[in-house]
Amino acid sequence: MRITWIVPHFPPHIGGGEKLYMDICLFLKERGEEVRVVTSSSGGIKGYRNVKGILVWYCDWPLLFGHPAVRMSDIMPHVKWCDIVHTSIYSTALKANLAAFLNGKKCVTTIHEVMDRKWFWFEKNPLKAAAFFIYERLIVYSCPFVHVVSRATASDYRAAGGRCKKPFMIYNYPNLPPVSDIEKEDISFREYFSLKEGERGILFFGRPAKNKGIFVLLKALSLLSESEIASAKVRLCFILARDPEPEYKKAVQMIRELDLSGYITVKPPLPRLKLLKVLSGADCCIIPSVTEGFGYAAAEACALKRNVISSDAGSLKEVVGGPCLFFRNRDASDLADKLSAYMKRDTEAFRTEKEKRFNKNRITEHYMDMYRSLIEEEKE
């Protein structure tokens, strides 16, 4: 079987989706399938490369509203070559599907998340929000074969007018390295954040994007009294990427303006293994996401047996298991109540949800089943 992946970004571009693409492509290669990837040069590489045995074409696509704009001339030869095209929302979906249609090939589109009317939650300019809303609906309607990464995404897809009657539902998976590899890292949560004896650390890690809920978290913290946090001996530990930079600066400014600096420590991102070692030592992890198609951070925290305080947004109830507390999405007051409960009662505040297991071998086999199903349908 020949599969061409046409995606906006691919490693070395850093991101959960990009790592998933690499993992699936490597699995397909190990199975003896032929795989090509056509992507943008966003990872800092241009031209043809052999990446771990995967043939990748990094194209210097121009940016349109911050997203790579695909050139048909770059993808056409690879669409003609393959049996199946695999693409993803947003910027590659329309042209990948058009190229597949013109060449009589099936194209499956991975939809990680459907924002739909939630665009209006984040965009202050209503015209810009409306443009994103319409563009997303166009993609959702135009793609005949769809893969969604959670039941929540499937529900949002149908609500947004998706025309694929039976989307393929295949979960993502965190694909953590062996625990022994994580434990080898010469770093610890307590040392990295300079926690004092008897002090508990609540960890938030990731991008400070609006949909990741950092501003809901900061609002919730502002509702707690300084004496309550001090008496509980709790420190908020943030590992924040600087991208998107405007939101990073806003978060840092908000910490100062709300007088939260005394009990929040902000640290820069870490290499993956070091990050996982730090995560594995956190007393509690907080996932305040406003939208979440799958939720890698939540899946990783739960896989490493951490206590979790999470919003109930999107797929998070499908992903979060073990000792946890859920708060109402975007409700800073409810989050403040859950934080207060943890500060007063420690682990007794958590309830135990059934652990969610995302088996790599089973999930990757589902990709093969999806491709076979599309090819067999074509033969019929």
pLDDT for res 156: 97
CATH number of the domain bearing residue 313: 3.40.50.2000
Q: Across the strands, what pairs with 47?
A: 58
User: Looking at the structure, do residues 238 and 334 belong to the same domain, yes or no?
Assistant: yes
Beta strands 47-51 and 54-59: pairing type?
antiparallel
- Output the CA angle 320-271-53, nearest 5 degrees: 95
pTM score above 0.85:
yes
Report the alpha-carbon distance of residue 369 to residue 375 in Å, rounded: 10
Domain tally, the chain = 2
Cα(355)–Cα(350) distance, rounded to whole angstroms? 14
3-state SS assignment for residue 13: coil
Assess whether 201 and 344 both reside in one domain. Answer: yes
Shared-domain flag, residues 31 and 97: yes
Same domain, residue pair 321 and 375: no
- β-partners of residue 326 are 310
CB 322 within 8 A of CB 351: no
What is the residue range of 137's domain?
2-173+359-379
Do 48 and 169 lie in a common domain?
A: yes
Residues 311, 247 share a domain: yes
Q: How many CB atoms lie within 10 A of CB 108?
A: 26
- pLDDT tens per residue, range 225-261: 888 888 899 999 999 999 889 999 999 999 999 999 9
Q: Which residues of the chain have pLDDT under 70?
A: 378-380
Q: How many C-beta atoms lie closer than 10 Å to residue 209's C-beta?
A: 18
198 lies in the same domain as 328:
yes
Which pLDDT score is estimated for 65?
Answer: 77
pLDDT in tens, 78-132: 999 999 999 999 999 999 999 999 999 999 999 999 999 999 999 989 999 999 9
Assess whether 26 and 133 both reside in one domain: yes
Tell me, yes or no, whether 297 and 150 share the same domain: no
In terms of domains, do 252 and 318 share one? yes
In this structure, the answer to whether residues 363 and 324 fall within a common structural domain is no
Residue whose entry in the numeric block shows the structure tokens 């490597």: 26
The sign of the torsion formed by the CA atoms of 159, 160, 163, 168 equals negative
Helix (H) or strand (E) holding 100: helix 93-102
Position 379 scores a pLDDT of 57
- Interatomic CA distance for residues 328 and 317, integer angstroms: 12
In this structure, what token pair is assigned to residue 348?
Answer: 């007794």
Are 130 and 23 found together in one domain?
yes
